Amino acid sequence: MKETSLGPLMVDLAGTAMNATERTRLLHPLVGGVILFARNYQDRAQLTALCAEIAALRSPRLLIAIDHEGGRVQRCREGFTKLPAMRRLGEWWNREPNAARAGARAIGYALAAELRACGVDLSFTPVLDLDYGLSGVIGDRAFHRSPEAVIDLAGALIDGLRSAGMACCGKHFPGHGHVEADSHVAIPVDTRTLDEMADDLLPYRRLRLDAVMPAHVIYPQIDPRPAGFSPVWIERLRGEFGHGGVIFSDDLSMEGASVAGGIVGRAEAAWQAGCDMMPVCNKPDSVEELLANWHPQLDPLRSARIARLLPQEEIGNIDALPLCIAGRAVCHALV
């Protein structure tokens, strides 16, 4: 196991096991993490073996992450608890806020415990976007229209994640819920002023977040660049909002990132704006292009921030953990 630092790129794998090319790619000093998708999951035993193989490659070990929010965004299905869409918690909060808060914490614990038991370090959750009823790509992934409800429920979910030893990642800063376009396939533009965005920003002001993912959305009243490529937004997040954790760009392969040019230009723009780690998904040729042609001055402080997302303690038998059992029961009641 080679001693190294964690680089700023997060890359993916083609299938349920690593091939020789991927193993070599993960040893590159620009790589610091792996993002998993449904295609990388067969069953719990296979996922555990894959994560163990990834973890054994380097020291500190690569960060292993996944989008595992609930509802339609849950990469591991068979053998995992089916998680509800977060809007279901928001509906519950309207009727019984205290019960919904307790349910959110239990769901967060079950979500994190099940992933951690297989060796996954981080889920890109919670979604902090407000539910304006405008964004199809966000939709029921959002907890609620009210920022107070989002803060309440997301805060409880984060407590559950942390109780199981997992960090959180709030997304999509400063807010993706007020635009119709999907940044996976388009370049969304939100024409509101900063004052008009006050509600969207409240969760980022009030919650203590281990990581934040900016949106591939342009807010021209504040800056002509998408938030993930904008030093204006990222300096505000670091300074005014006091965020000292990791900043992930959203996937550099998405159409919303295309305003920054080709893949090298996108990575450089996100890096110069202040992002610590940049996922590049579903484009192995783009990863190879970056590894060959992008030459950033690596920053040990950014690497150290990423390393702090790695869980520090092992988790026990999740089937015997009361909060995990409670979380599963809540999920079964809501889905």
Indicate the residue type of 52.
A
In whole angstroms, give the CA distance from residue 88 to residue 71.
9
Q: Work out the burial of residue 195: count CB atoms within 10 Å of its CB; fewer than 13 is exposed, 13-18 middle, 19 or more buried.
A: exposed
Instruction: Please pick, among 12, 140, 200, 250, the residue that the annotation labels catalytic.
Output: 250
Is 210 noted as a catalytic residue in this protein? no
**Contact status, residue 217 vs residue 189, Cβ threshold 8 Å:** yes
In whole angstroms, give the CA distance from residue 247 to residue 269.
14
Q: What is the CA radius of gyration of the chain?
A: 19
CA atoms within 13 A on the CB side of 123: 31
Question: Cα 324–318–321 angle (5° rounding)?
Answer: 55
In whole angstroms, give the CA distance from residue 187 to residue 13.
26
Strands 218-219 and 211-214, sheet pairing: unpaired
Indicate the residue type of 65.
A
Indicate the residue type of 254.
M
Is 12 noted as a catalytic residue in this protein? no
In 3D, which of 61, 44, 56, 68 has the Cα closest to residue 18? 56
The pair phi, psi for residue 242, each rounded to 5°, is 70, 25
Instruction: Please pick, among 184, 299, 319, 332, the residue that the annotation labels catalytic.
Output: 184
Secondary structure class of 283 (helix, strand, coil): coil
**Contact status, residue 294 vs residue 47, Cβ threshold 8 Å:** no
Catalytic residues: 184, 250
